[in-house]
Structure 1
Amino acid sequence: MRAVVYDGFGAIPQVREVPDPVAPPAGAVVRVEATGLCRSDWHGWMGHDPDIATFPHVPGHELAGVVHAVGDGVRRWRPGDRVTVPFVCGCGSCPSCRAGDHQVCERQTQPGFTHWGSFAQYTVIHHADVNLVSLPPELSYAAAAALGCRFATAYRAVTAQGRVAPGEWVAVYGCGGVGLSAVMIATAYGARVIAVDVSPGALALARSHGAVATVNSAESDPVEAVRELTGGGAHLTLDALGSSVTATAAILSLRRRGRHVQVGLLPSAVGDPALPMSRVIGYELEILGSHGLSADDYPELLRLVLDRIRPDSLVTVSIPLSGVPAALAAMGERPPTGITVIEPQRPE
């Protein structure tokens, strides 16, 4: 098969012919029809993720496709089934998985990090009966790939962790794929959303997807702007970018007893950020993390998508495998507006 491969952190990725994968016991091989290009892939390529330990490596973790083969012991799936998968795959048997919290599985696997991922024509998913999610026929592969990490992560961050309620003010810092997804979801749940970013294009997309106000943080103090717009601070903030600057600003944008959800990765390679804990204590703020979405929670998400939200409207670019090396490198300095989807089966 053809796949995007790199031989070391920061090494230039190349499209190569590599051996076809084989379905492991209890696992499946999925023919990848669409896969998202995410900033998490860039973090992995740069060496910010300790799970990538061997080379050569194939990245990619937001995927949708068709079951190609299944291993011994798989009961729920057969070749030809249309599927997607969470980016955090549970083992199904640890205490966290038994509690229904696959997204924090103690023995989790992640395509594109713990093993070869979806920037390829085929990829392996372990514990298929636990992790594969059936795709309704009316949902395209591109839309399902857009769900993979960013939309699903934003869904849990806004609803389960953030506990958004109608009429609340929500400030979303960073309007890439996760942030724009959070804007759409919070709006669908009746919240009033303020989008914060430095990109006029990203802010325009946020407004078109439901934000009632936008703040360009390159031109004005976002904390002051959010507090003024909301009459004292947001009920809920999300840092969808992942930096000490945006995390701090988001926390300072909260009203008393507000809730902050950290969604964007803060790589350990750059050190732990200093956060305004005196404000957290004095205002009795909640600081929460959000890490993906369990496969068991996908049916509710899919109902929301089919009834009220179009994640494929965030897809702004579609590329073949040959376009990945340049697009991955650009994620560090010039992340695209919206979501880029890769089509590994597309002829070059």
Structure 2
Amino acid sequence: MRAVVFERFAEAAEVRDVPDPAPSPGGAVVRVEATGLCRSDWHGWQGHDPGIALPHVPGHELAGVIEAVGPGVTRVRPGDRVTVPFVCACGGCADCAAGEHQVCAHQTQPGFTHWGSFAEYVALEHADVNLVALPEELSYATAAALGCRFATAFRAVVVRGRVAAGEWVAVHGCGGVGLSAVMIAVAAGARVVAVDPAPAARELARAFGAAHTVDPRATGPGAVAGAVRDLTGGGAHLSLDALGSPATAAASVAGLRRRGRHVQVGLLPAESGPAVLPMDRVIGWELEVLGSHGMAAHAYPPMLELVRSGALRADLLVTRTLPLAAAPAALAAMDSAPEPGVTVILPAG
């Protein structure tokens, strides 16, 4: 098969022929019809994830068709249209038994623990636990945007953040996760302040219903929280760091009102330095500081129904599609010249 491969961290990847994957006894091989290009892929290529072994194929947001299954698989079969969460759970540990697959201690992640979906085929573990059937109305490109960023934002806003109609929600960072969070919060009846330095990202946030946008370059790094508090009449009820940096994490917490809720969604790699949070305010104002890490496969149906019905327009997040040959350059450009919205790679293109 053709796949995007890098031999060394932060050095150019290339498209080459590599052996086709085979399913494990409880796993499946999926023919990749679409796969998202995510900032997490860039972190992996940079070497920020200690679990990646070289050479490596990135990619973890995908949708496609089951090509083959192992002998132990009973719930899904070849020919099924599927997607998968980026956290593939084992299904048998204590966390999985409690339904918390997204923190499974034995999880696998395509594109991180093993070769991923920037390829014509990808192997996935524990197929009966992790593969999610796709509604026929959903395109592969839209479905590929769900597996990491949209599903992560959905759980972060709805489950971890407990958003309520009429609340103010601040979203720091309007990439794929942040724009998804804007759309989901607005659909829940919340009012949103979207923070991002890129004009195109702020424009998309407004198009998805944000009441206000903030350019952190115009306010200055220490004034973002104050701008959010002013626009919301005292601070956000719920705030998300959807980028992942010490500055955005601190601004998210500092922009909350009393008894507000901060959800950390963006990754905070060690290379960025420690995130210093105003813990005196966390105590005095009884703030909640929460983490959110994807969403379990069994939790997908309500979200998929909202997308299928048009109540949530995940399709509008996809602003660019690329062939596999263009993936190495797009991956390298993610930090210096990120595209607004979600970029989806079509391996067959």
1:198 matched residue in structure 2: 197
1:295 matched residue in structure 2: 297
1:327 aligns with 2:317: no
Q: 1:271: how far off?
A: 3.3
Q: 1:179: how far off?
A: 0.1
2:312 matched residue in structure 1: 309
1:47 matched residue in structure 2: 47
The alignment partner of 1:33 has SS state of: strand
Output aligned runs, 1:140-159, within 5 Å. Answer: 140-159=139-158
Q: 1:335: how far off?
A: 1.4
Take 1:293 and 1:76, find their aligned partners in 2: how far apart are those partners? Answer: 20
Q: 1:269: how far off?
A: 3.2
Using the TM superposition, name which of 112-121 and 302-311 deviates more: 302-311
The question of whether the paired residues in 1 share the 8 Å contact of 2:246 and 2:273 is answered with no
The code of the aligned residue for 2:12 comes to I
The question of whether the paired residues in 1 share the 8 Å contact of 2:170 and 2:195 is answered with yes
Percent identity, aligned pairs only? 68
Provide runs of 4+ in structure 1 moved above 2 Å. Answer: 268-272
1:38 matched residue in structure 2: 38
1:74 matched residue in structure 2: 73
Take 1:268 and 1:125, find their aligned partners in 2: how far apart are those partners? Answer: 28
2:278 matched residue in structure 1: 276
The alignment partner of 2:143 has SS state of: helix
The code of the aligned residue for 2:320 comes to V
Q: 1:8: how far off?
A: 1.7
Q: 1:273: how far off?
A: 1.6
- The size of the alignment, in residue pairs, is 345
The alignment partner of 1:158 has SS state of: helix
The code of the aligned residue for 1:71 comes to G
The alignment partner of 2:258 has SS state of: strand
Q: CA RMSD in A?
A: 0.7
The code of the aligned residue for 2:169 comes to V
Q: 1:55: how far off?
A: 1.4
2:173 matched residue in structure 1: 174
The question of whether the paired residues in 1 share the 8 Å contact of 2:135 and 2:308 is answered with no
1:5 aligns with 2:10: no
2:233 matched residue in structure 1: 231
Q: 1:268: how far off?
A: 2.3
5+ residue gaps, structure 1: none
1:213 matched residue in structure 2: 212
2:16 matched residue in structure 1: 16
Using the TM superposition, name which of 34-43 and 211-220 deviates more: 211-220
Q: 1:270: how far off?
A: 3.1
Q: 1:279: how far off?
A: 1.2
Take 1:142 and 1:325, find their aligned partners in 2: how far apart are those partners? Answer: 19
What does the per-residue CA deviation read over 1:135-169, in whole Å, with 9 as the maximum and x for residues that have no partner?
Answer: 00000000000111000000000011000000000
2:246 matched residue in structure 1: 244
Q: 1:342: how far off?
A: 0.1
TM-score (norm 2): 0.98
Output aligned runs, 1:326-345, within 5 Å. Answer: 326-345=329-348
Q: 1:333: how far off?
A: 1.4
The alignment partner of 1:219 has SS state of: helix
The question of whether the paired residues in 1 share the 8 Å contact of 2:30 and 2:123 is answered with yes
Take 1:218 and 1:271, find their aligned partners in 2: how far apart are those partners? Answer: 21
Take 2:118 and 2:44, find their aligned partners in 1: how far apart are those partners? Answer: 13
Output aligned runs, 1:106-145, within 5 Å. Answer: 106-145=105-144
1:286 matched residue in structure 2: 288
2:164 matched residue in structure 1: 165
1:65 matched residue in structure 2: 64
Q: 1:235: how far off?
A: 0.2
The code of the aligned residue for 1:282 comes to G
Q: 1:272: how far off?
A: 2.6
Take 1:272 and 1:16, find their aligned partners in 2: how far apart are those partners? Answer: 38
2:183 matched residue in structure 1: 184
The alignment partner of 1:45 has SS state of: helix
What does the per-residue CA deviation read over 1:33-67, in whole Å, with 9 as the maximum and x for residues that have no partner?
Answer: 00000000000011111221x21100000000000
Take 2:50 and 2:305, find their aligned partners in 1: how far apart are those partners? Answer: 35
The alignment partner of 1:319 has SS state of: strand
5+ residue gaps, structure 2: none
